[in-house]
Amino acid sequence: MRNYNRRKRVLVSGGAGFLGSHLVERLLDRGDEVLCVDNLFTGSKRNIERFLAHPRFEFVRHDVTFPLYVEVDQIYNLACPASPVHYQHDPVQTTKTSVHGAINMLGLAKRLNARIFQASTSEVYGDPAIHPQSESYWGNVNPIGIRSCYDEGKRCAETLFFDYHRQHKLDIRVARIFNTYGPRMHPNDGRVVSNFIMQALRGEDITIYGDGSQTRSFCYVDDLIDGFIRFMDLSAGADGSPGFPGPINLGNPVEFTIRQLAEMVIRLTASPSKMIFKPLPADDPMQRKPDITLAKKYLNDWAPSVSLEEGLNKTIRYFEEFA
């Protein structure tokens, strides 16, 4: 009955968040029915208010650490605080969201025989000892540090996904997301792009932790969501077996230092802000750059197309109303 009209019904947990709301929009634009599930801890109704009157959109306020009983064809599991400020606010709940949330979403997918996508993270690599990071690298993660609730929660969620895949033949897709930015980011989420833009727009000092030589790779949200959908829609095997489950790195392989990012934000905002330097937080990785060879191989030569300068300009315009 779920497919009686041939239109996919897709569940997006964390659908009122930054990435979730962009995914919801793309799915609605292509004709899917979308069930958005969010407890609004870090998500916002502002992000989805434009969809509330849409005939193919439904919002349910729900915490994924509790079971959910619905009928859908596909599940995107994006529910989890993703910035250090938010995930360190309640670290126990962060781990529960990653682990119990994965168990509940996987149980739902198993009952429905539905394909399920896990939004994992480059944080599973920790402070990497190899550069760039490929999916075969097991990581260098502190299991008892202040970031561990997120890092290890996501690592455990990946374990659960692959065990359900092996034990129950569940059709899974696991993507490891590298730093992503764009409109609808929370202005106070503590992530480097939003921090720098808000400080620059307000004429405040730009706070750099460490000496600014640490690197990140910044992917604009539209490119990332394109990768999500290509991966979820990857065809099953000719023998009827599930398609490639991943993990697959999704991110921009062009690397910038944090200082370069700050200088670009100051220039694009024409801000009088100056850079100040503070001690580096514990377990903050020094390098982060994805190897996207597998994404290119499996996702029809997927690669980011939006430059950092172009993406920052779009993001700055969004943040101007919050400054």
| Enzyme catalytic residues | 150
Residue whose C-alpha is closest to residue 99's, from 73, 122, 120, 113: 120
Q: Which residues contact 275 (CB under 8 A, 6 or more apart)?
A: 205, 206, 208, 212, 259, 262, 263, 266
- Pairing state between β 57-61 and 215-217: unpaired
Strands (E) across the chain are located at 9-13, 33-38, 57-61, 74-77, 115-121, 172-177, 180-181, 206-209, 215-217, 219-220, 248-250, 255-257, 275-278
Q: What are phi and psi of 37, to 5 degrees?
A: -120, 125
Residue 73 CB-density burial (10 A; 0-12 exposed, 13-18 middle, 19+ buried): middle
215 beta partners: 257
Neighbours of 83 (CB within 10 A): 20
CB 87 within 8 A of CB 150: yes
| Count of CA atoms in the C-beta half-sphere (13 A) of 281 | 13
Residues in the chain: 323
CB 20 within 8 A of CB 43: yes
